[in-house]
Chain A
Amino acid sequence: MISELSGIEQPPMANGELVFEAPWQGRVFGMARALSEAGLYSWDEFREYLIEAIAGWEREGEGDYAYYDHFLAALESLLADKGVLSPGPLEIRCSEFRHRPHGHDH
């Protein structure tokens, strides 16, 4: 049974369907759930990280509220704490993608 994200942690929806403004948002959402379903963490655990990420922005963040920015931050944080993602390899991979030729299809 899919547990709901409600309240402040609810993802943007329109007429009953998730709204992504860009493909990466969908990927992040899908990843977070797929990893939870695979048993890496419980969905409640992820919610805690998400609530913390949103609270962190409320305390001291800049710019407009962007739900999926917090979602991404929560995922990164949780994966780091689980020992699955380390900053070094992640930065290297980001750098590789930043420097690949234009026209790459996501």
Chain B
Amino acid sequence: MDGIHDLGGKQGFGRVRREQNEPVFHGRWEAKVFALLRAARTAGALKNTDQFRHAIERIDPIAYLSHGYYGRWLGGLENLLVEAGVLNRQQIDSKALELGADTDWRVAARPVAQPDVVGYESEEPSAIRPLPTEPLFQVGEPVHTRGTGTAGHTRLPAYIRGREGTISAWHGGWVLPDSNAHGRGENPEHLYTVAFSGAELWGEQSEPGVVVRIDLFESYLLKM
């Protein structure tokens, strides 16, 4: 999806802020978010990492930018728990108010009424899936990337779409996130590292000597 999470190349964010002393303690609630992750798995609301990533991508965009890393996790987990029917919004809202929540606080979660159902668990701990087919592309070959986005989960960022690059490595078969996140099966594909010059991505504005290398699935790529 063309969500707010797809940040590569977006402008306007200013200097990278490195706090001199990052908060030295995790707030108690961050430890709770870890626990919530385990609970969501146990409850069957979370079946795979791709599904979790997509749940985070679907949270409120303003919350995505302002709630921080664990805030994004919390929003994603709430999406999954509500969509799986483990909790409902009213329950969560009233409990939060009972505990003293600020009614002005922007809630990150945006659970959908018709969620995907991931009806299977992965049998393997790793995402590698050897494939019987030959890879379509060879190292050194020029390729085009797909020009259009998708409404669902993908690992093809907008800044790479419709660009010309060169295959720099082949990694065999891997679970396809675009399919797995939505419970449509693992549908593994050949995975490649593809190199793009800064000039190709950013035009005249590009800094000299910049190369971006990114890992892309075969269905993201087109023969030239």
Which A residues fall within an 8 A CB radius of B? 14, 19-23, 26, 30
Contact = CB atoms under 8 A, between A and B. Distances in A.
A20 B34 contact: no
A19 B28 CA distance: 9
A14 B28 contact: no
Contacts of A20: 25-26, 31
A21 B31 contact: yes
| Residue among A14, A19, A20 with the highest chain B CB neighbour number at 10 A | A20
Contacts of B97: none
B34 A22 contact: no
Interface residues of B, number: 6
14 contacts: A14-B34, A19-B26, A19-B31, A19-B34, A20-B25, A20-B26, A20-B31, A21-B28, A21-B31, A22-B28, A23-B25, A26-B24, A26-B25, A30-B24
A23 B29 CA distance: 12
Nearest to A27: B25
A71 to B, nearest CB: 15
| Residue among B24, B26, B28, B31 with the highest chain A CB neighbour number at 10 A | B26
Interface string B1-40: 0000000000000000000000011101001001000000
Given A20-B25, A21-B28, A26-B25, 11 more contacts: A14-B34, A19-B26, A19-B31, A19-B34, A20-B26, A20-B31, A21-B31, A22-B28, A23-B25, A26-B24, A30-B24
